[in-house]
Amino acid sequence: MPLFWFVLLPVLIGSINYFVTHKWSKYFILVLQVMLLAFAIHNFAIVKTNGPISIILGNYAKGIGIQLYCDNIAAVLVVFNILIFTCMGIFSISRKYMTSLFTLLFLLLQGLLNGIFLSNDLFNLYVLIELSTIVVSILIMFKKDRLSIYDGMVYLLINIAAMSFFLIGIGYIYKIFGILDISLIKEKMSLISNPRALILPYSFLMTAICLKSAIFPLFSWLPKAHGTPSAPSIVSAILSGLYIKGGLYLFIRIQDMFSPQLSTQPLFLFLGFITGIIGFILALSQTDIKRILAYSTVSQIGLIVFGISLSSWESNFGSIYHILNHGLFKALLFLIAGLLIDAFQTRDIRKMYNVYEKLPFISIISFIAIMGITGAPLFNGSISKYYLAKNTSGYLEYGIFLINLGTITIFIRFFEMFFRKKPLTEDYDVENTVVAKPLLLHQKAVLILLAALCLLGGIFGSQLVQFLFGAGLYISKEDYFAKSLIYLVSVLISFVFYRYIYSKISLFKKIRELEFSFPTLCLSLFLFFSALLAYLHFTV
């Protein structure tokens, strides 16, 4: 199937459903989604066998027309994108909010994300990102209450401001090279005699991409978007599990485009580490279950950026594999969060208690997701973190260890509610019966599938990396055993910290209500751009 259909088909399906409503239309859409997933898997098989695929829309010459390019990584991301959207659609098919308008927006976002993964043209990427920003803003504001409208507008405006930087950067690139094709620009990079001429366009482009990726200090919009109270849980699952990965994918591609002339790996090693640390500190300070998960996403982004910025081949593929793994367990955790909110009628994690006794099935699924995100042996996160940390030593290894220590602490706190016998706050009526709607068969199937993928991604992790990316990465049994021991020590340290130290640190309570206004977000955008310019000025 031509690549452009992965962008157009979801839009066409959603549009037809919007104008031709029928009681069976939701099921018809799911059938088409499964067919699209089959086409994506077939496309991956072709790329894996024959190499990258590229088409130029309109049959123009290369460098003039818009090129869609699908290599191994893009093919995997398209399959993963459609798989998660299909799962979310199945999970929510019986929900009241799955109206024809919501479904149209939902499928439109899927097509736009596919376009971001496949586009090889800078201006086309700009258009796709802007459109997806508008769609995400509407999904955040879908229930039209005051807080969701405020969160959606802040998200929309700060992203429009960031993409203005991206557009100016595109203009500079076109002025220098006369083309917008990413592959051709990389080929011509070596012809630039003075690398300092690239400082300004690089800074404009990377400032926008770092905001889209939620890299420190440009991450404070993310909890507003991913944790807004009124957005359905599948929206939070898609944003945190998938949409943020579009920014990380662009980070990889733009860094690769400039790699013949500019290298900023030391800077992004530092920023990745700081993002990871700040993310888990802010997650530990929250009481809102969705905000805890949103800030933990920030921490995981920091870990991924840290791994991408390492010069190790294993670390790069480990980071890419962690992008997929994070999409699985974070989507699963947000679905669980939505179910817990519905059952307890609160978002405050302190008021959730004895979950295992009240909701045993959800508790078991939660346990699997937590094991995945913390990197427990035999679960998917352990494999990606193993490769990510492979061949690191000294302060680099300690940096990864510290970020993962924070992740484990977050989810020890998260896991506590499953066995806590009473709420931690006195303003919650313990006599209030927890009303959990019985999970329907299709909802259980989605939760089991995502949990199974978290487990299988660990048991067969090295084989999956080899199959998906063609990377000959293998696991040393001795090293993996050593990493497993380190994980157990990390759990012990995190438990001691949470049990005996966490409650005594007033910082966590003080920063709980920390919020950045739109002007502050814009100021951080400008300061990041200025700092990046200064760094390049003194290092290039």
Between CA 240 and CA 407 the distance in angstroms is: 16
pTM (two decimals): 0.93
pLDDT at residue 427 in the model: 60
Between CA 110 and CA 139 the distance in angstroms is: 13
Percentage helix, strand, coil for the chain under 3-state DSSP, each rounded to 5: 75, 0, 25
Give the three-state DSSP class for 38: helix
Contact between 471 and 317 under an 8 Å Cβ cutoff? The reply is yes
Give the three-state DSSP class for 68: strand
Contact between 410 and 296 under an 8 Å Cβ cutoff? The reply is yes
Q: Is the peptide bond before 217 cis (omega within 30 degrees of 0)?
A: yes
At 36, list the tokens.
Answer: 């699209």
Q: How far is CA 49 from CA 42, 45, 79, 162, 463, in A?
A: 11, 6, 16, 39, 17
Contact between 139 and 106 under an 8 Å Cβ cutoff? The reply is yes
293, exposed or middle or buried, with CB in 10 Å at 0-12, 13-18, 19+?
buried
Contact between 169 and 162 under an 8 Å Cβ cutoff? The reply is no
Q: Which residues contact 261 (CB under 8 A, 6 or more apart)?
A: 189, 190, 192, 195, 198
pLDDT at residue 118 in the model: 94
75-133 per-position pLDDT tens digit: 999 999 999 999 998 998 888 878 888 889 999 999 999 999 999 999 999 999 999 99
Give the three-state DSSP class for 75: helix
How many Å separate Cα 502 from the centre of its chain? 27
pLDDT at residue 430 in the model: 52
pLDDT at residue 174 in the model: 93
Task: Transcribe 223-279 into DSSP letters.
Answer: HHHHS-TTS-HHHHHHIIIIIHHHHHHHHHHHHHHHTTT---HHHHHHHHHHHHHHH
- Sign of the CA dihedral with 451 first, then 455, 458, and 463 last: negative
Q: Which residues of the chain have pLDDT under 70?
A: 22, 230, 426-436, 512-513
